[in-house]
Amino acid sequence: MNILFFLPLIAALILSACSEMPAGLGGHEAPSAASSKPTAASDEITQCADQVKKLPLQDHPPSSVKPSVDLLYWCTKAAEKGDARSQFVLAGLYEQGTFGPANQQEAIRWYKASASSGFADAQFKVGQVFGLGEGVPIDKAEATRWYLKAAGQGHLEAMYYMGYRYEHGKGTHKDFAEALKWYGRAAEHGNRQGMAGLGSLYLLGHGVPQNQVEAYKWFNLAAVSGDKDPIGQRDKLARTLSKSQLAEGQHLASEWAKQHPLDKKP
């Protein structure tokens, strides 16, 4: 499991956290003598990464998961050293209350620290914090600022978010050309939401000439990738197309899929 994307797992881990773990995060203890200790070649950052690697995959039965308090100890040490990835991990532990009561303000503090160091996942998360008002007042402009930073680093979800925000004027001005750009970049890397976004632009003629065949192509690609929402749009559009148009749309989608990745996650 990539250590940078384990946070969705943390929510499942909460249910099985050990009852003997610290009640809060304010006074964590050093790991037991039996646990690994840093050497000249193994500092706090390496220890934090090693602890994260020990977390099970998402399909692991949550009831059997008991994360070690060493995860908290070493990631705190590494975060305090200024390591952006460790700060991101620590923020997730605070947010989910993995080792005690959830602490949204501490989570935000560490997410911001990680984001300010340029870590794209943290920048996207800070965008969500301001966009959804998670522990802070909703600030759509601030959310957009952080999404844009993450998108600029190639974060796929952030690219889609920027496309959506430019298309609908959320936290920024409406700009269909920018929406087309960000949806396109997300789609090029297999993001199905970006594909669906392109479908909408072509269907409505926003920033591009209206083109139902092209819209069908993108809705079809998004649907094949596993996005259920565009299925209805694709099928509704298909009923308005001629047989030749439908065949063309399917051909265009097939040719595009041969040369680009498709995100087929459930």
pLDDT digits (tens, 9 = 90+) for 217-259: 999 999 998 888 899 999 999 999 999 999 999 999 999 999 9
DSSP three-state, residue 13 = helix
Last residue of some domain: 79, 96, 117?
Answer: 117
pLDDT (0 to 100) of residue 264: 62
**Per-residue tokens: 33:** 């003598």
**Same domain for 86 and 196:** no
Query: pTM to 2 decimals?
Result: 0.79
**Same domain for 139 and 74:** no
- 162, with CB counted inside 10 A (0-12, 13-18, 19+), is buried
- pLDDT band at 191; cut points 50, 70, 90: very high
pLDDT (0 to 100) of residue 66: 66
> In the chain, what is the straight-line distance between the N-terminal and C-terminal CA atoms, in Å?
17
**Same domain for 150 and 249:** yes
pLDDT (0 to 100) of residue 8: 41
Tell me if 155 sits within 8 A of 188, measured CB to CB: no
**Same domain for 149 and 100:** no
pLDDT (0 to 100) of residue 98: 85
- pLDDT band at 57; cut points 50, 70, 90: low
Tell me if 103 sits within 8 A of 94, measured CB to CB: yes
pLDDT (0 to 100) of residue 16: 31
- pLDDT band at 48; cut points 50, 70, 90: confident
**Same domain for 178 and 111:** no
**Same domain for 220 and 199:** yes
pLDDT digits (tens, 9 = 90+) for 63-101: 455 678 888 999 999 999 999 999 999 999 999 888 889
Write the CB contacts of 13 (distance below 8 Å, at least 6 apart in sequence).
55, 62, 65, 67, 96, 98
pLDDT digits (tens, 9 = 90+) for 3-25: 334 444 443 333 233 333 333 44
Domain boundaries, position 134: 125-266
pLDDT digits (tens, 9 = 90+) for 132-168: 999 999 999 999 999 999 999 999 999 999 999 999 9
Residue 39 bridge partners (DSSP): 42
**Same domain for 221 and 137:** yes
Higher pLDDT, 123 or 97: 123
pLDDT exceeds 80 at position 112 = yes
Higher pLDDT, 241 or 52: 241
Number of domains in the chain: 2
What is the rounded distance in angstroms from the CA atom of residue 8 to the CA atom of residue 47?
21
Last residue of some domain: 117, 149, 165?
Answer: 117
pLDDT exceeds 70 at position 126 = yes
Higher pLDDT, 64 or 215: 215
pLDDT (0 to 100) of residue 68: 81
What is the rounded distance in angstroms from the CA atom of residue 203 to the CA atom of residue 205?
6
pLDDT (0 to 100) of residue 45: 86
What is the rounded distance in angstroms from the CA atom of residue 44 to the CA atom of residue 179?
42
Average pLDDT taken over every residue of the chain: 83
Tell me if 89 sits within 8 A of 53, measured CB to CB: no
**Same domain for 130 and 243:** yes
**Same domain for 93 and 57:** yes
Last residue of some domain: 72, 101, 117?
Answer: 117
Tell me if 155 sits within 8 A of 181, measured CB to CB: no
**Same domain for 182 and 89:** no
**Same domain for 171 and 110:** no
Specify the CATH number for the domain of residue 240: 1.25.40.10
**Same domain for 216 and 186:** yes
